[in-house]
C-alpha cells in the first residue's frame, strides 16, 4: 500500500475540504508534513487510521471526530457530515477509500439561562472502497473491510502507522511481550496457530467418527457366515441320509406288500389296507388344510371381539343424529343451495330470518367439511358392515371346526381299521404272513420316525438360510462401513500429518524469521547509530527478547538512552518490514523527538532507502 | 502471509513423506482459508470447511 492522497472534511480541526498529496515516487518517497504544535499533524495521522480501519488510534471515534465549529453552527435537526478520503495504490492498482460519519444536531434540553443544549446523534458511519479503472471510472468493492485487511492487515498496520514517541516501548526492559506481539502481527503467525488449532479439532472429530467403525466386526461376521454354511452343509447331508432311509423303508414296505399280496388268502385284506392308507393320507392332508383355514380366520377375531365397541359407537352416533349434531345424510352443498335459491324442496319459500332459514343455518353449522362429512354420513353403514362381517367370521369358524371334527373322527376310524387289519395279519396262524407283517410293521415304525425328522431337518435348513441371509446383509453393511472407515482413516491420517507438519512449519517459520529480523535489526541499528557507539550487536531470543549487545558481547539494553531506544525500536520495526517484504507506507507521528544530532542525520539519510514510502509528521 | 517461504519449508519437511502431495496441498489450502477468514474477521467455520478441503484434496489424489 502506498498512500497517494488524503482529503479531509469536518474531521477534527479540518473544517473545509482539504487535500494533501503524498510522494510515492521510488526515488523521492518521503512526505513531511510540518507545522506548529496543534496544527493538525496528529489528526491527519488519526484520519488515515480512521478512514482505512474505522479507528483513529489517538482520538475518540463518533461525535468526537466531528469538527466542533461545524457542529456549533448546525441548527437543531441539521446533519453534519465528516468525510475522510484516502487514495492509495497496491500491486499496481489504484483504490479510493471514503469513510463518512453523519451526525444530527438535536436540542434535547435548555440550561438554566434558557440556552439550548445540543446532543449529536451519529446517523450513519459508512465505508466505501472503490477500484479505479484505467478509464478513470471507480468500481465499488463489496467487501471493503476485507479488502483493506488483505492489503494491510489491521493487526499489522500499527507497526507501519505509529507514534514515534511511543515506539521506544518495544525496547524498554519488561516489554518483551510487545516484541513478541509485533513479530506475531507482522508475520501473521496467528494464521498458522489458528490453522493448527482448527486442525486439532478436526482430527478429534475424525477420531470420534472412527470409533464407530470397528475393524473386528467384519472378521467376526465372515467367521459366522462360514459357520452357518458349514451347518447348512451338515443339515443337507443329514436330510439326504434321512431321505435315503425313508426311500429304503418305503421300498421295503412295498416289497412286503407285494409278497403279502401274492398270498391269496389275505389278498383282500392287503388291498383294503392299501386303500385305507391312501385314504388316511388324504384325510391327514384335508385336516392340515382345515387347520390352516381356521388359523387364517382366527386372525380376524378382533372384529368379533370389537362387537361391544361397535354397538356403543352405533348408539352414540344414533343419539347425535337424533339431536341433529351430525348430518343425517344431507350434504353441505344441498343446504347451501336451499339458502341460495330460497325455495324448499316442498315448494315453500324460505324467507330471510324465518324459522326455516334458522333451522337450515343451524344444520349447516353441524356439517363438517369434506371427507369428514362423508365419513360421518357413511359411519352407520360401515358399522353395520363390521357387524355383518363379525357374524360371518363366527359362522365360518363354526363350519370349519365342525368339518375338522368330522375329518378327525374319520382319521381315528381309519387308523382303527388299519390297526385291526395289522393285528389280524400278525396274529394269523400262517407263520410266513405273521413274520412278513411284523417286519412290515417295523419298517412302518422306522418310516414314521424318519418323516418328522425330515420335516425338522428341512425347517432347520430354512432357519439357517434365514440366518445366512441376515448375516450376509450385516456383512454388506459392515463392508460399506469398513470402506467408509478406511476412507475416514486415510483422511484422519492425512489430517494428523498435516497438523504435525504445520507445527513444524510454525517453528521453522518463526526461527527463520527471527533470525532474519535479528540480522536486519543489527544491520539497521548499526547504520543508524554513530560510529563510535559502544553497541554492536542485536539479538532476539527464542522467547522474543530483544537485546542489544555491547562491543564486549554483554547485554546492554538497560544502558540505552531514550533516543537510542527509539533508534533501536525503529531498527526493529524496519527489520520486520524488510523481512516480510511488506508493501506498506511508514507513517510516523512525532518522530525523532529524543534523538540526538548524529543518529538523526543517519536516520534521515538511511530511512528513505529502507522504506517503500515514508510519511513524517514531526 | 509469506506463502513462498512456507512452501519452501513445507517441501523440505515433506521430502521423504509418501503422501507429500496431498499433505502439502492441504496445508496450503488450510492456510489460505485461514487468511481469508482473518481478512473477513470471521475465524469460525473450520469444523465444516476443513473436512471439505481434506476430502477435496484426498479425492483429487485418490489414484
DSSP SS3 for A586: strand
pLDDT confidence of residue A99: 92
- CA A404 from centroid of its chain's CA atoms: 63
State the pLDDT confidence band at B19, using cuts at 50, 70 and 90: confident
> Which residues on chain B place their C-beta less than 8 Å from a C-beta of chain A?
1-2, 5-6, 9-10, 13-14, 17, 19, 22-23, 26-27, 30-31, 33-35, 37-41, 43, 46-47, 50-51, 54-55, 57-58
Kindly state the average pLDDT of the residues A389-418.
Answer: 92
The answer to whether the CB atoms of A191 and B31 lie below 8 A apart is: yes
If you write DSSP's letter for every residue of A296-318 in order, what string do you get?
A: HHHTTHHHHHTHHHHHHHHHHHH
Q: Answer yes or no: are the C-beta atoms of A567 and A595 closer than 8 Å.
A: yes
List CB contacts (< 8 A) between B21 and chain A: none
Average pLDDT, chain A: 83
- CA A190 from centroid of its chain's CA atoms: 27
Q: 3-state SS string over A402-419? A: HHHHHHHHHHHHHHHHHH
Chain A: residue whose CA lies nearest to B9: A505
The span from the CA of A189 to the CA of A186, in Å, is 8
DSSP SS3 for A597: helix
Burial of A232 (0-12, 13-18, 19+ CB in 10 A): middle
Q: What is the share, in percent, of chain A residues with pLDDT greater than 90? A: 22
Q: How far is B56 from chain A (nearest CA, A)?
A: 10
Picking from A145, A25, A48, A14, the residue whose alpha carbon sits closest to that of residue A617 is A48
Picking from A548, A545, A580, the residue whose alpha carbon sits closest to that of residue A565 is A548
Smallest Cβ–Cβ distance between B30 and the set A195, A508, A580 belongs to: A195
Cell of A426: 400278525
| Residue appearing with cell numbers 352407520 | A380
Cell of A495: 489430517
List CB contacts (< 8 A) between B30 and chain A: 195, 198-199, 498, 502
| Residue appearing with cell numbers 471515534 | A61
State the pLDDT confidence band at A81, using cuts at 50, 70 and 90: confident
Q: How far is B63 from chain A (nearest CA, A)?
A: 13
Residues in chain B: 63
If you write DSSP's letter for every residue of A319-366 in order, what string do you get?
A: HHHHHTSS-SS--HHHHHHHHHH-B-TTS-B--TTSHHHHHHHHHHHH
- Lowest mean pLDDT segment, chosen from A109-123, A295-309, A444-458: A109-123
pLDDT confidence of residue A228: 93
- Lowest mean pLDDT segment, chosen from A28-42, A303-317, A451-465: A303-317
Q: What is the share, in percent, of chain A residues with pLDDT greater than 70? A: 90
Kindly state the average pLDDT of the residues A276-296.
Answer: 93
Picking from A302, A231, A253, the residue whose alpha carbon sits closest to that of residue A460 is A231
pLDDT confidence of residue A406: 95
Give yes or no for residue A309 having a pLDDT over 60.
Answer: yes
Smallest Cβ–Cβ distance between A498 and the set B9, B26, B33 belongs to: B26
State the pLDDT confidence band at A466, using cuts at 50, 70 and 90: very high
pLDDT one-digit tens code per residue, A427-453? 888 888 888 899 999 998 998 899 999
pLDDT confidence of residue A328: 56
The span from the CA of A128 to the CA of A123, in Å, is 16
b (16+ CB within 10 A) / e for B6-27: beebbeebbeeeebbebbbbbb
Smallest Cβ–Cβ distance between B40 and the set A146, A187, A581 belongs to: A146
The span from the CA of A53 to the CA of A50, in Å, is 5
The answer to whether the CB atoms of B38 and A512 lie below 8 A apart is: no
The span from the CA of A152 to the CA of A583, in Å, is 8
Kindly state the average pLDDT of the residues A150-175.
Answer: 76
Q: Answer yes or no: are the C-beta atoms of A6 and A85 closer than 8 Å.
A: yes
pLDDT one-digit tens code per residue, A207-219? 888 777 766 777 8
Picking from B36, B53, B14, the residue whose alpha carbon sits closest to that of residue A143 is B36
Q: SS3 breakdown of chain A: % helix, strand, coil, rounded to 5?
A: 65, 15, 20
The answer to whether the CB atoms of B9 and A508 lie below 8 A apart is: yes
| Residue appearing with cell numbers 532474519 | A516
The span from the CA of A419 to the CA of A388, in Å, is 47
Question: Which of A188 and A95 is assigned the larger pLDDT?
Answer: A95
Q: Answer yes or no: are the C-beta atoms of A547 and A539 closer than 8 Å.
A: yes
pLDDT confidence of residue A235: 94
Mutate to test the interface with A, among B27, B47, B55 (most CBs of A within 10 A): B27
Smallest Cβ–Cβ distance between B58 and the set A494, A504, A581 belongs to: A494
Q: Answer yes or no: are the C-beta atoms of A607 and A591 closer than 8 Å.
A: no
Residues 6+ apart with CB under 8 A from A36: none
Residue A595 CB coordination number (10 Å): 22
The answer to whether the CB atoms of A505 and B2 lie below 8 A apart is: no
Cell of A185: 502481527
pLDDT one-digit tens code per residue, A498-512? 999 999 998 898 888
pLDDT confidence of residue A107: 63
CB pairs under 8 A between A and B: 104
List CB contacts (< 8 A) between B17 and chain A: 497
What letter would DSSP give residue A64?
G
| Residue appearing with cell numbers 507501519 | A160
List CB contacts (< 8 A) between A194 and chain B: 34, 37-38, 43, 46
Give yes or no for residue A241 having a pLDDT over 90.
Answer: yes
Kindly state the average pLDDT of the residues B12-33.
Answer: 90
Smallest Cβ–Cβ distance between A491 and the set B5, B39, B54 belongs to: B54
The span from the CA of A131 to the CA of A94, in Å, is 6
Give yes or no for residue A155 having a pLDDT over 80.
Answer: no
Question: Which pTM was predicted?
Answer: 0.58
The answer to whether the CB atoms of B22 and A205 lie below 8 A apart is: no
Q: How far is A484 from chain B (nearest CA, A)?
A: 12
Chain B: residue whose CA lies nearest to A206: B51
Give yes or no for residue A322 having a pLDDT over 60.
Answer: yes
- CA A539 from centroid of its chain's CA atoms: 49
Give yes or no for residue A141 having a pLDDT over 60.
Answer: yes
- CA A299 from centroid of its chain's CA atoms: 47
The span from the CA of B1 to the CA of A75, in Å, is 50
List CB contacts (< 8 A) between B6 and chain A: 505, 509
The answer to whether the CB atoms of A202 and B54 lie below 8 A apart is: yes
Burial of A118 (0-12, 13-18, 19+ CB in 10 A): middle
Class of domain A2-151: alpha beta
Question: Which of A238 and A123 is assigned the larger pLDDT?
Answer: A238
State the pLDDT confidence band at A412, using cuts at 50, 70 and 90: very high
Cell of A190: 496467528
Residues 6+ apart with CB under 8 A from A273: A418, A421, A422
The answer to whether the CB atoms of B38 and A188 lie below 8 A apart is: yes
Picking from A575, A552, A560, the residue whose alpha carbon sits closest to that of residue A529 is A560
Give yes or no for residue A76 having a pLDDT over 80.
Answer: no
The answer to whether the CB atoms of B43 and A194 lie below 8 A apart is: yes
Residue A177 CB coordination number (10 Å): 9
Q: Structural domain boundaries of chain B?
A: 3-60
pLDDT confidence of residue A599: 76
Give yes or no for residue A572 having a pLDDT over 70.
Answer: yes
List the A79-90 sheet strands across, edge first: A18-21, A2-9, A79-90, A93-110, A116-132, A138-140
The answer to whether the CB atoms of A501 and B23 lie below 8 A apart is: yes
Give yes or no for residue A79 having a pLDDT over 80.
Answer: no
Smallest Cβ–Cβ distance between B5 and the set A493, A504, A512 belongs to: A512
Chain B: residue whose CA lies nearest to A513: B5
Amino acid at each position: 500500500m502506498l498512500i497517494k492522497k488524503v482529503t479531509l472534511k469536518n474531521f477534527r480541526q479540518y473544517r473545509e475540504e482539504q487535500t494533501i498529496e503524498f510522494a510515492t515516487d521510488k526515488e523521492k518517497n518521503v512526505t513531511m508534513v510540518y507545522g506548529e504544535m496543534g496544527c493538525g499533524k496528529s489528526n491527519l495521522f488519526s484520519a488515515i487510521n480512521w478512514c482505512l480501519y474505522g479507528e483513529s488510534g489517538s482520538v475518540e471515534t463518533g461525535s468526537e471526530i466531528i469538527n466542533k465549529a461545524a457542529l456549533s453552527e448546525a441548527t437543531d435537526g441539521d446533519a453534519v457530515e465528516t468525510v475522510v478520503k484516502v487514495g492509495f495504490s497496491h500491486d499496481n492498482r489504484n483504490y479510493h477509500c471514503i469513510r463518512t460519519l453523519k451526525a444530527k444536531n438535536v436540542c434535547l434540553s435548555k440550561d438554566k439561562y434558557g440556552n439550548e443544549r445540543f446532543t449529536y446523534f451519529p446517523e450513519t458511519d459508512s465505508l466505501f472502497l472503490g477500484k479505479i479503472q484505467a478509464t478513470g471510472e471507480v468500481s465499488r468493492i463489496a467487501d471493503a473491510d476485507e479488502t483493506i485487511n488483505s492489503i494491510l492487515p489491521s493487526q499489522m498496520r500499527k507497526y507501519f502507522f505509529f507514534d514515534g514517541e511511543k515506539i521506544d516501548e518495544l525496547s524498554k526492559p519488561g516489554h518483551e511481550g510487545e516484541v513478541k506481539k509485533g513479530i506475531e502481527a507482522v508475520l501473521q503467525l496467528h494464521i498458522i496457530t489458528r490453522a493448527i488449532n482448527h486442525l486439532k479439532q478436526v482430527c478429534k472429530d475424525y477420531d470420534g467418527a472412527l470409533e464407530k467403525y470397528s475393524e473386528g466386526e467384519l472378521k467376526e461376521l465372515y467367521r459366522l457366515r462360514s459357520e452357518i454354511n458349514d451347518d447348512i452343509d451338515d443339515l443337507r447331508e443329514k436330510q439326504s441320509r434321512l431321505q435315503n432311509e425313508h426311500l429304503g423303508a418305503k421300498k421295503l414296505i412295498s416289497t412286503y406288500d407285494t409278497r403279502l399280496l401274492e398270498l391269496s388268502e389275505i389278498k383282500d385284506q392287503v388291498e383294503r389296507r392299501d386303500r385305507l392308507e391312501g385314504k388316511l393320507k388324504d384325510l391327514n392332508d384335508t385336516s392340515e388344510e382345515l387347520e390352516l383355514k381356521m388359523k387364517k380366520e382366527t386372525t380376524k377375531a378382533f372384529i368379533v371381539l370389537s362387537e361391544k365397541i361397535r354397538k356403543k359407537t352405533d348408539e352414540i352416533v344414533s343419539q347425535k343424529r337424533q339431536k341433529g349434531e351430525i348430518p343425517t345424510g344431507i350434504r353441505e352443498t344441498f343446504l347451501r343451495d336451499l339458502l341460495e335459491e330460497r325455495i324448499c324442496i316442498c315448494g315453500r319459500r324460505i324467507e330471510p330470518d324465518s324459522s326455516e332459514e334458522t333451522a337450515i343455518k343451524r344444520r349447516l353449522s353441524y356439517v363438517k367439511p369434506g371427507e369428514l362429512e362423508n365419513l360421518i354420513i357413511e359411519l352407520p353403514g360401515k358399522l353395520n358392515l363390521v357387524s355383518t362381517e363379525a357374524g360371518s367370521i363366527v359362522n365360518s369358524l363354526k363350519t370349519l371346526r365342525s368339518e375338522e371334527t368330522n375329518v378327525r373322527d374319520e382319521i381315528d376310524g381309519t387308523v382303527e381299521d388299519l390297526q385291526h387289519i395289522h393285528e389280524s395279519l400278525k396274529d394269523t396262524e400262517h407263520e410266513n404272513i405273521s413274520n412278513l407283517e411284523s417286519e412290515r410293521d417295523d419298517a412302518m415304525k422306522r418310516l414314521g420316525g424318519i418323516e418328522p425328522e425330515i420335516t425338522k431337518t428341512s425347517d432347520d435348513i430354512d432357519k439357517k438360510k434365514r440366518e445366512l441371509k441376515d448375516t450376509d446383509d450385516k456383512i454388506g453393511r459392515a463392508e460399506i462401513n469398513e470402506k467408509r472407515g478406511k476412507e475416514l482413516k486415510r483422511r484422519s491420517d492425512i489430517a494428523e500429518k498435516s497438523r504435525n507438519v504445520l507445527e513444524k512449519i510454525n517453528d521453522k517459520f518463526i526461527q527463520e524469521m527471527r533470525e532474519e529480523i535479528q540480522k536486519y535489526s543489527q544491520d539497521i541499528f548499526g547504520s543508524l547509530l554513530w560510529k563510535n557507539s559502544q553497541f554492536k550487536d542485536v539479538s532476539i531470543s527464542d522467547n522474543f527478547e530483544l537485546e542489544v549487545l555491547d562491543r564486549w558481547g554483554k547485554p546492554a539494553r538497560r544502558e540505552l538512552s531514550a533516543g537510542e531506544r527509539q533508534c533501536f525500536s525503529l531498527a526493529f520495526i524496519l527489520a520486520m518490514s524488510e523481512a516480510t517484504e511488506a508493501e506498506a507506507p511508514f507513517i510516523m507521528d512525532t518522530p525523532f523527538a529524543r534523538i540526538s544530532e548524529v543518529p538523526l542525520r543517519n536516520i534521515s539519510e538511511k530511512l528513505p532507502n529502507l522504506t517503500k514510502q515514508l510519511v513524517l509528521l514531526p | 502471509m509469506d506463502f513462498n517461504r512456507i512452501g519452501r519449508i513445507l517441501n523440505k519437511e515433506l521430502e521423504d513423506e509418501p503422501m507429500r502431495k496431498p499433505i502439502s496441498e492441504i496445508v496450503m489450502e488450510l492456510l489460505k482459508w485461514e487468511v481469508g477468514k482473518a481478512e473477513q474477521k470471521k475465524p469460525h467455520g473450520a469444523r465444516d470447511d476443513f473436512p471439505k478441503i481434506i476430502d477435496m484434496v484426498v479425492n483429487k489424489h485418490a489414484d
